[in-house]
Structure formats: C-alpha cells, structure tokens
Structure 1
Amino acid sequence: MSKKALMRIPLEKLMDLKIDYAFKQLFGSEKNKAITIVFLNAILKRTGRDTIKEVTFKNIEIGGEHDGDKQSRLDILVTTQDDHHINVEIQFTNKYDMIKRSLYYWAQIHNDQLESGISYIHLNPTITVNILNFNLFPKTDLFHTTFHLYEDEEKFRLDDQLELHFIEIPKLLKQWKAQLLNPWDDVLARWLLLLGIVDHRNGRVYEELYKELEEIAMGDEHLQNAFASWQEISVSPESLPAYRARLKQVLDDEAMVIEAKYREEAALVHGKELGSQETNIKTARNFLGMGIDIETVAKGTGLSLEEVKAIKEKMNLS
C-alpha cells in the first residue's frame, strides 16, 4: 500500500474503536480478515506453526440475561483453521459482572459445538477475549491477563478447553504514558494502542500516539491497512448514522451507570448518618436516665441542646 493511503482526515472525525459498532466494522468484516488474523495472533501470542492462518466469521445470538442488554450478535466470533472458537467482546462501560458474563458467554459458545450424537472428545478449545474500557483487576498492573484451568497445588493445566483473556485499556494507556511500552517492538501493544487513540468519553484524541503508530504503520502493512480502513469507515455516509446512534446509546448507558452508582453511594452515606443519629439518641437516653445534665449529654453525643431537651421531655424526666 502506498503512503497516500495514510492521508489523514481530521483526527476528531475518527470513530472511537472502543465503541462496539466501530470495532466490529474494522475487525469483524470479511474484507479486513487479514487484519483480524494479525490482531488475534498478537493477543493470543501465536507464533510459528501455531499461528492462526485462516478464520471463518460466525454469527450467534447470545445475551438478554440482563434487562437492557444488547441481546444481539456477539461482537466478533470466529472459527480458526484448527476449529478453535474465538469470541472477542469489547465493553465500553462496566455495566455487568464481567468475569461471570465472560464465563457465561464461553459456556454458551462451547456448548454450541455439541450436536446430537457427537462425543465430547470432539469438543475444541473455546477462547474469549474481553477488551475493556475500564479497570477490572485492582490487584495487578498488567493490562493483559490470561486465565486457564489449573490444579490448585501443583499448578498444572487441566486442559486447553477454556481460555479467557482480559485487556484493560486504561492500564495500557497508563503504561504508554509512563513510557513503559514500546509499540515499535511490541506488536500487541501497537494494535491495542490503536484502540486507545480516540477517547470519546472524555472528548479527546491522543495525537502523539496517533503520529507514533502512523509512523510504525509505514513499515507494517497490516497496521497501515487498518489505518486506511479506520479512516474510510469514519467518514462513510452508510456507517456514520449507525455509529453516532450507538455512541449516544453507549454514553447514555454509562451516564446511567454512574448516576446509579452515585445514588447507591449517597444512600449508603445517608444510611450511615441515620444510623449514627439513632445511636446518638440511644446514648442520650441512657445518659439522661442516669441523671446526667443536659449540657454534658449534648457534648457527649454531638446532639444539640434542643434535641437533648426534646428527648428528655419524651422520657418524662423532671
């Protein structure tokens, strides 16, 4: 591809690739299959003979376990040339229990392999990849974590049927800002950082990151193709209305999650305040019953003199 393919559109016009619609347009289309294969090989660390060489895109309905859930086709579901099933989901907002949700999706996809009369021996590995626009594991700074089934004591792997990946974009960007990542040498880092360039949540674009990856793309044909396709879909009259509608929905959903969390925290604070007030009133009653004067009770409980007097009157104490 020529250098002309990297001619820029205004960066603010680029779609945020963390919005599932844009992500699927770039990585979930047949015409971009080569990009998808490189992307998956980078995430799964497949090299040499183990590389994914071919994928077949599949459509499957999963969801609806929560009110308001997408209940739509999975973001990206492919079958590789060796019949491994790989599901890639991108989540903009922490709406659900991502770990349990991921296990649920894995189980559904794995189960769908079995047809009537087929033996369990024919089950092939199922892999789920969760790309998250939020932090999930506070106990680690790793932006990419991988899970399998292991024996508790000796840590040997049970089998290869289950493989879960979690990628936390905020941790990725934090490491890039701290200059702890080198996308020139790290293929996975360059592909994941591509997703972090546009941040529509905060209304910003990391222009420095764009320029760095743009320069890297001059020597990386697949990344160069990704840039060209990204720009194409970002100005497509067919894609823009759907993207804008999905962006609005995602940001509205996130606002609802934040508001619900704020209300929950406010209710907890209010509950604690009410509990504290009830404790102070109970303590005041005990002190007054012991004959302690009103001024001392007020100082000891934090209640006002008027409140203590009212309590004393209700107790019919002289």
Structure 2
Amino acid sequence: MSERALRRIPLEKFIDLKVDYAFKQLFGSEQNKEITVVFLNAILQRSGRHAIKEIAFASQEVGGEYQDDKQSRLDILVKTQEEELINVEIQLTNQYDMVKRTLFYWSRIYNSSLQKGMGYNTLLPAITINICNFDVFNQTDSFHNTFHLYEKDEKFRMDDVLEIHFIEMTKFIKLWHQKTLDPWNNLLARWLLLLGMVDARKKKVYNEIYKELEELAMRDEQLQEAFTVWQDLSQSPEEFLAYQSRLKYILDEEAKFDDVKHMAEKKGLEEGRQKGLEQGLERGLEQGLERGLEQGKLLEKEETVKRLFKLSLTVEQIAEATSLDTHAVERIIGELS
C-alpha cells in the first residue's frame, strides 16, 4: 500500500474520533463490525480461543422501565458469541461524574439481561469500557485500568459478572510522546493512536502520530480498513456536517458547565461571606479568609507555572518549584495552548 493510497485527504480534514458521533460511525456500525471486534479484543486483551469472534449490536437505550425511571442512551452496546454484554463509552468532556455514571450504566446493562420470570442465574456478564479524553485517576500514571469485584484481603474475584475498563487518552498521548509505548508490539496502543491523532478542541492534528499510523497501516489490514472508513466519513459532506453539529453542541455544553460551575462557586462564596457577616460568626469569617487566601495562593502558583514554562523548565521542575503535582502543572500548561 502506497502513501498516496492511504493519504487521500489533507490531515486537517480528519474528524476527531473522540467525538461520540464520529466514534459511533466507525465502531458502532454493522458494516464495520470486523473493525469493532478487533478493537474490543485489543482493549480486553483477548486472543486465540478466548477472543471475541462475533458480535451483535444491541439497543442503545437502557432504563425507562417505569414511568419515572431515568433512561440512558449508550454509545455502543454489543452482545458477544459468549453472551457477554459490552458497553463502550467515549467521553470528550470531563463532567466529573464518570465513575458514578459508569456504575449506573453497568447496573442498567446487567439488569437488562434479566427476563421476566427468569432466575438471577440467567443474568449475563456485563463489561463497560470508558475511553476518556481526560484524567480520571490521580493514583496511577497507567492509561488503562481494569476493575473487578475482589475480596478485600485475599484478592480473589467474587464473580465474573462485573468488568469495568477506563482508558485515559491524556495519559496515553503523554506516554506515547515519551516513547514508552510501542504500537508495533502493542495492539491497543495502535488503535488508540487512531483516536489520539486529532484534537478537535485545540484544532490540532498530530502529524507525527499520522506518520506512525501510516507505517502501521501498511502491515495491519484491519487498521488500514479503519483508516479508509475514517477518511470516507471525513470526506462525506453529510457526515462532516453532523459531526460538526455534534462537536459544537459538546463544546457549547462544556462552556455552559464551566460557567455554571464558576457562578455556583462565586455565589457560594458571596453567600458564605454574607452569612458570616449577618451571624457575626468568627469561625465563618476565618473560613472565608482562609478560602480567599488559598485561592489567592493557587492563582499565584498558576501564574508562576506559566512563567516557568515560558522559561523552558520541565513539568517535573515546575512541579517541584510550586509544590503542585505534575497533573496540575500539565493542566495549567495545557490552558496556554
């Protein structure tokens, strides 16, 4: 396969596969089922006789069983040949509820397999996969974390019905840039590069990721096929318009969320100060002053981070100088771009 055959459109025309609409068009389509199977096996690290060989796409609507029941729409839901239910969610924006939302989704999927009049032993194993464009767990630098139900002391699994995966794209891209990942020998890394090549929020395309994907696709038939479908989606006027509309909605909602959060914090501070004044509580005043001082110190640290970054100090050096953790430093630096 030549470079010309692979690269049919300018890089800046590629849509961001981390936008749920684009992700579902590639991985949630019946005609791309073989791509989805390879992708799931890469995430679940299954091969040989344990590999997923066949899937059927299921209804994305869960819940709503009762009149006042909350109904949820999943990104992708499939059933495997082994009667496992697998939900894949892609999340571009951090709404700070991913863990609880995941448990809620998992419970709905697990419950959905119980047919009326059937026993609990007929419930099917449910797997949830979350691909997040933000950090979820500060306790680890690993980009892929898997959770099961384990006994506290002896660590044996209670059952195989629950399996939850979190993939943090921010950590993945960082590790790739540090050259600590080898996509040639890591199938999951190969597929995550596909998701990480475009950053719609920053209006940026990583040319160096494209170059590696180009070489990988020459030796990986499924990756090449995914690349072809991705290009076709990016070139379709109808698909591109739908993608842009969805992206605009996500970014608008993100801006609203930030505004509401800022207003709530501001209102809370004002109400706290007013209440402290009205009640004349020394403790309330002290707490208000403490919070004000803490916020002032934080703003000062943020300005310090920006100045040190412009002086070409490393993230680790800046973290050491400001007593911030590296994730906080990276977040502040990220706001500069």
Q: Give the TM-score, by structure 1 length.
A: 0.81
- Aligned partner of 2:84 in structure 1 is 84
Pick closer, same or farther for the CA change 1:264–1:63 going to 2, 3 Å.
farther
Report the Cα distance in structure 1 between the residues aligned to 2:77 and 2:128, rounded to whole angstroms.
9
Amino acid in structure 1 at the alignment position of 2:223: L
- Aligned partner of 1:21 in structure 2 is 21
Question: Could you tell me how far 1:280 is from its partner in structure 2?
Answer: 10
User: Superposition RMSD on alpha carbons, in Å?
Assistant: 2.4
Q: What does the per-residue CA deviation read over 1:223-282, in whole Å, with 9 as the maximum and x for residues that have no partner?
A: 000111000001112212211110100111111122233334444565677689899996
Question: Could you tell me how far 1:58 is from its partner in structure 2?
Answer: 1.0
* Secondary structure at 2:256 match in 1: helix
Question: Could you tell me how far 1:191 is from its partner in structure 2?
Answer: 0.6
1:1-318 to structure 2, matched below 5 A, reads 5-62=5-62, 73-267=73-267
Question: Could you tell me how far 1:112 is from its partner in structure 2?
Answer: 1.0
Report the Cα distance in structure 2 between the residues aligned to 1:282 and 1:98, rounded to whole angstroms.
38
Pick closer, same or farther for the CA change 1:282–1:91 going to 2, 3 Å.
closer
Q: Which blocks of at least 5 consecutive residues in structure 1 are unaligned?
A: 65-69, 284-318
Q: Give the TM-score, by structure 2 length.
A: 0.76
Report the Cα distance in structure 1 between the residues aligned to 2:4 and 2:177, rounded to whole angstroms.
29
Report the Cα distance in structure 1 between the residues aligned to 2:101 and 2:281, rounded to whole angstroms.
45
Judge conservation of contact 1:217–1:224 (CA < 8 Å) in 2.
Answer: yes
Q: Which blocks of at least 5 consecutive residues in structure 2 are unaligned?
A: 65-69, 284-337
Judge conservation of contact 2:199–2:205 (CA < 8 Å) in 1.
Answer: yes
Judge conservation of contact 1:38–1:222 (CA < 8 Å) in 2.
Answer: yes
Structure with larger Rg: 1
Report the Cα distance in structure 2 between the residues aligned to 1:89 and 1:225, rounded to whole angstroms.
22
Judge conservation of contact 1:5–1:228 (CA < 8 Å) in 2.
Answer: no
Judge conservation of contact 2:3–2:214 (CA < 8 Å) in 1.
Answer: no
Question: Could you tell me how far 1:5 is from its partner in structure 2?
Answer: 4.1
- Aligned partner of 1:67 in structure 2 is none
Report the Cα distance in structure 2 between the residues aligned to 1:250 and 1:59, rounded to whole angstroms.
23
**Greater alpha carbon shift after TM alignment, 268-277 vs 32-41:** 268-277
Amino acid in structure 2 at the alignment position of 1:45: Q
Pick closer, same or farther for the CA change 1:277–1:89 going to 2, 3 Å.
same
Question: Could you tell me how far 1:192 is from its partner in structure 2?
Answer: 1.1
Question: Could you tell me how far 1:177 is from its partner in structure 2?
Answer: 1.3
Report the Cα distance in structure 2 between the residues aligned to 1:138 and 1:282, rounded to whole angstroms.
36
Report the Cα distance in structure 2 between the residues aligned to 1:72 and 1:24, rounded to whole angstroms.
16
Report the Cα distance in structure 2 between the residues aligned to 1:136 and 1:282, rounded to whole angstroms.
38
